[in-house]
Amino acid sequence: MGSPSRRAPPPREASKRTPDAWFTTTAARIPSPSTAHRLVAYQGIPRDALVEPSTGSSTTTTSRSRPTPLPPQAPYRVKRTALALLEPATGSLANAKTSTGQPARVLPTVVRYPAGAGPVPLIVFSQGYNYPAEGYAALLTAWARAGFVVADPTYPDTDPSTPGGPNESDIVNHPTDLRFVISALIAAARRPSGPLYGRIDPGQIALAGQSDGGDVTLATAANTCCRDPRVKAAVILSGAELAAFGGTYFGAPSPPLLVVQGDADPINIPGCSAALYGQAPAPKYYLDLLGASHLPPYVTPGPTRDLVTQAVISFLRYYLRHEPSALARLRRVANHPPIATLTTASSLTGRSTYCPGAP
């Protein structure tokens, strides 16, 4: 959910992984029995869902047929698969080993997708601090029902299931984790043996995240420290710029941005969203949730979550699926007092831009 100060503590260990090294995956191969048992016991993920970095070898598998192109109608029936992506890592960043004994960082990832259709745009969602990724399941399922593949990785050290408790300082490693997840999912969609075969359009990728996950999303979309040029749109749900990442925000071309913020949020105070929105280039949209707090707009059933759900769908349909009518629909559903208002102004005149922990 994020700490009240929104300041990440000094990093326990700066990432030693090469930020620009894209790691792909092959058909799932299982680690040694002891390692696999430990992973399954801790994460509850089936052994055949463990996916390792490519070693250049191939595995003989049974091919699946490629899905048919996505028809224009929605909603779609949603299917779900769970993967454990094994990312190369060093030192204390590693929490597992591959079948060849190489240190790795396991990223359990749930993927929702429209049944029988593809390729479609990919949304990768980043969870808030100390809140489970699947706590946002209703929101993510609604996006998948609208015609997107939606993946939600669990970051190893900031999830509430972390042994010994979560450590917020690990956030500095999450942009690299996120970029690895994108690469792994694109590779998985090219494997005829897997459930994601043919389902992801690698040219249409969006990121979304809430709270600390919003910080990670923004850094990966628009900070020179970690920017991934494959990202074509970004949705920041109560997120902020974070000095701990280093780099420069909006120092290079950045994708269209939808910033969502509760005006009664005591954790990610509104100044954090106002500041990043004011610095971002157009196209950009600020969705002001009137009277809303930090987490409830995204996880609590009700009109505010419904509005956020539909606003994100309309935004991404316009920028990823290029549906001309989606932009008008975004304005229509998002400008809905007393629940929310939407602006595309260059800055939020008269609003505080104070944000603890920002550059």
Picking from 267, 183, 188, 269, the residue whose alpha carbon sits closest to that of residue 220 is 183
- What's the pLDDT at 45? 40
Backbone angles phi, psi at 108, to 5 degrees: -60, 130
Tokens of 335: 């400008």
> Does residue 68 or residue 304 have the better pLDDT?
304
306-328: buried (b, 16+ CB within 10 Å) or exposed (e) per residue? ebbbbbbbbbbbbbbbeeeebbe
Residue 349 has pLDDT above 50, yes or no: yes
- What's the pLDDT at 66? 64
- What's the pLDDT at 100? 86
- What's the pLDDT at 218? 98
Q: How confident is the model at residue 355 (pLDDT cuts 50, 70, 90)?
A: very high
Q: What is residue 286's three-state secondary structure?
A: strand
- What's the pLDDT at 91? 86
Q: What is the mean pLDDT of the chain?
A: 85
In sequence order, the 6+-apart residues with CB closer than 8 A to the CB of 344 are: 282, 283, 284, 285, 286
> Does residue 305 or residue 29 have the better pLDDT?
305
- What's the pLDDT at 41? 28
Instruction: Give 65-98 pLDDT, tens digit per residue.
Output: 666 555 556 789 999 999 999 999 988 898 888 8
Residue 304 has pLDDT above 60, yes or no: yes
* CA 123 to mean position of chain CA atoms: 7
As a whole number of angstroms, the distance between CA 241 and CA 260 comes to 14
Instruction: Identify the structural domains of the chain with CATH numbers, from first to last.
Output: 67-84+108-343 (3.40.50.1820)
Quick check: 211 and 131 in contact, CB under 8 A?
Answer: yes
Residue 13 has pLDDT above 50, yes or no: no
Instruction: Give 166-201 pLDDT, tens digit per residue.
Output: 999 999 999 999 999 999 999 999 999 899 999 999
- What's the pLDDT at 92? 85
Residue 351 has pLDDT above 50, yes or no: yes
As a whole number of angstroms, the distance between CA 189 and CA 63 comes to 12
As a whole number of angstroms, the distance between CA 106 and CA 88 comes to 9
Quick check: 162 and 130 in contact, CB under 8 A?
Answer: no
Q: How confident is the model at residue 118 (pLDDT cuts 50, 70, 90)?
A: confident
Residue 12 has pLDDT above 80, yes or no: no
Picking from 215, 166, 254, the residue whose alpha carbon sits closest to that of residue 355 is 215
The least confident of 25-29, 98-102, 221-225 is 25-29
- What's the pLDDT at 230? 98
In sequence order, the 6+-apart residues with CB closer than 8 A to the CB of 198 are: 66, 67, 118, 119, 189
Picking from 259, 264, 263, 307, the residue whose alpha carbon sits closest to that of residue 287 is 259
Instruction: Give 29-63 pLDDT, tens digit per residue.
Output: 223 222 332 332 233 344 445 555 443 333 333 45
Residue 22 has pLDDT above 70, yes or no: no
